[in-house]
Amino acid sequence: MSTGAVLAGVIDDHETTMIGLAGAINRFSDLGDPPVKLVRMSTTVDTFIAGDRRMCHVVALDMLLADGSAPSENTAKLVAAGYKVLVFSAGNNVRHLQQALANGATGVSLKDEPVTATVDKLRRVAAGETIPSLDLAAAIEADTEFVEANLSDREAECLALYATGYALTQVATQMNVQESTVKKYVDRIREKYEQVGRPAGTKIDLLRRAVEDGLLPPILPLKKRRNDS
């Protein structure tokens, strides 16, 4: 390993993504100074921290991991353990980016960017730089009146399905739970939104909240959609 190299880790639950990024880092690592060397990979933050004790300077962290862990908690754990964090994400949930950045991540690299850009961002984050970008700006845009409802991952999944138009029975099938469980999720979701002053008494209200929280993409006004059809 080259002296002075940036030592990087990757946390992602998609094996093909990790292998592909590993190969690309090894291929393009010497195209900058210092070189970037991938030394550790894991599918969860907990196993990454508890595993091989070789210290990494920077970690590329996926936002949605199969263990259901929250982006905010994952980022905070890594920062507390002494790692600098580069969000490595598809970028389709601004709230997840906000949570990661609020807990210490200092850059965002989208998975559809050229891998050379990701390698360069790993190098820059490791050096202590906060990387400005359109994605970063969007993720940290302040809204002083907005209050998070703090939905659990399962509640967020339920909301995204139910607000899209699925019936309770269909949501239950998709989530592999009982219909009564889905109803409890929906009731709890409404309670949480009510508690933070963002009531969602109707299904249309729930759809609005899902869009506001980045769980669903923005929906064109009906008039616009008719003109486009």
Q: Domains of the chain (ranges plus CATH)?
A: 6-139 (3.40.50.2300), 153-223 (1.10.10.10)
Task: State residue 222's pLDDT score.
Answer: 32
- Residues whose CB is less than 8 angstroms from the CB of residue 159 and which lie 6 or more positions away in sequence, other chains included: 151, 185, 186, 189, 206, 209, 210, 215
Task: State residue 1's pLDDT score.
Answer: 38
Task: State residue 138's pLDDT score.
Answer: 54
Structure tokens at 168: 């309770």
- Residues whose CB is less than 8 angstroms from the CB of residue 100 and which lie 6 or more positions away in sequence, other chains included: 61, 63, 71, 72, 74, 75, 85, 87, 139
> φ, ψ for residue 114 (rounded to 5)?
-60, 140
Instruction: Answer whether 0.85 is exceeded by the pTM.
Output: no
How many degrees, rounded to 5, is the angle at CA 79 between CA 103 and CA 74? Answer: 65
Task: State residue 2's pLDDT score.
Answer: 43
Structure tokens at 19: 């292998």
CA dist list (Å): 163 to 110, 149, 200: 27, 16, 11
Pairing of strands 6-11, 36-42: parallel
Task: State residue 176's pLDDT score.
Answer: 94
Mean pLDDT of successive 10-residue stretches along the chain, which has 229 residues: 75 82 74 82 92 82 88 91 90 74 84 85 90 58 61 91 91 94 95 88 87 68 34
How far is it, in rounded angstroms, from Cα 31 to Cα 119? 9
The helix (run of H) or strand (run of E) holding residue 40 is strand 36-42
Task: State residue 137's pLDDT score.
Answer: 52
Q: CA nearest 88: which of 55, 127, 68, 117?
A: 117
How far is it, in rounded angstroms, from Cα 164 to Cα 66? 23
Q: Determine the length of the chain.
A: 229
